[in-house]
Amino acid sequence: MTDKLKVGIVGGTGMVGQRFVELLDQHPWFKVTVIAASSGSAGKTYEEAVSGRWKLSTPIPDSVKNIVVQDASKVEEVAAGVDFVFCAVDMKKNEIQALEEAYAKTGTPVVSNNSAHRWTADVPMVIPEINPSHLEVIAAQRKRLGTETGFIAVKPNCSIQSYVPALHALLDFKPTQVVASTYQAISGAGKNFTDWPDMLDNVIPYIGGEEEKSEQEPLRIWGTVENGEIVKASAPLITTQCIRVPVTDGHMATVFASFENKPAKEEILARWREYQGRPQQLGLPSAPKQFITYFEEENRPQTKLDRDIENGMGVSVGRLREDSIYDFKFVGLSHNTLRGAAGGAVLIAELLKAEGYIVAK
Ligand SMILES: N[C@@H](CC=O)C(=O)O
Q: Which of 117, 168, 251, 335 is the catalytic position?
A: 251
Averaged pLDDT, groups of 10, the chain, 361 residues long:
89 96 97 97 98 94 98 98 97 98 98 98 98 98 98 97 98 98 96 96 98 98 98 98 98 98 98 98 98 98 98 98 98 97 98 98 96
| Structural domain includes residue 190 | yes
Tell me which residue has its CA closest to atom 8 in ligand 1.
188
> 252 and 348: one domain?
no
Distance CA 188, CA 64 (A): 24
Residues 125, 166 within the same domain: no
Task: Give the pocket of ligand 1 (CB within 6 Å).
Answer: 157-159, 184, 188-189, 207, 210, 336, 340-341
Alpha-carbon distances of 348 from 36, 125, 287, 322, rounded to whole Å: 21, 10, 10, 35
Fill in the amino acid letter for 265.
K
Confidence at residue 2, expressed as pLDDT on a 0 to 100 scale: 60
**Does 277 fall in a domain?**
yes
Residue from 15, 90, 204, 207 to probe ligand 1 pocket by mutation (most atoms less than 8 Å from CB): 207
**Amino acid at site 249:** D
d(CA 348, CA 335): 16
**DSSP 3-state of 140:** helix
Question: Based on the structure, what is the number of domains in the chain?
Answer: 2
Same domain, 101 and 219: no
Choice from 93, 112, 184, 203 to test ligand 1 binding pocket (greatest atom count within 8 A of CB): 184
182 shares its domain with 251: yes
What secondary structure does DSSP assign to 41-100, as a single string?
TTTSBHHHHTTT---SSSPPPHHHHTPBPEETT-HHHHHHT-SEEEE---S-HHHHHHHH
pTM: 0.97
154: CA distance to ligand 1 center in Å? 15
> Which one of 158, 168, 242, 335 is the catalytic residue?
158
For residue 256, the enclosing domain spans 160-334
Same domain, 126 and 266: no
Round to whole Å and give the CA distance between 118 and 207.
18
pLDDT given for residue 179 in this prediction: 98
Q: Is the Cα dihedral 241, 16, 88, 280 positive or negative?
A: negative
Nearest CA, atom 3, ligand 1? 188
Q: 251 an active-site residue?
A: yes
Q: How far is the CA of 160 from the centre of ligand 1 (A)?
A: 10
Residue 360 lies in a domain: no
How many angstroms separate the alpha carbon of residue 250 from the centre of ligand 1? 10
Give residue 14 CA to ligand 1 midpoint distance, Å: 14
The domain that holds 226 is classified in CATH as 3.30.360.10
Quote ipTM for the complex: 0.95
* Co-location of 17 and 76 in the same domain: yes
* Mutation to probe ligand 1, out of 210, 249, 303 (largest number of atoms < 8 A from CB): 210
Question: Strands, E, within the chain: which ranges?
Answer: 5-10, 30-37, 70-71, 84-87, 109-112, 151-154, 175-184, 224-226, 229-231, 237-244, 251-259, 292-295, 315-322, 328-334
pLDDT of residue 147: 98
Pairing of strands 84-87, 109-112: parallel
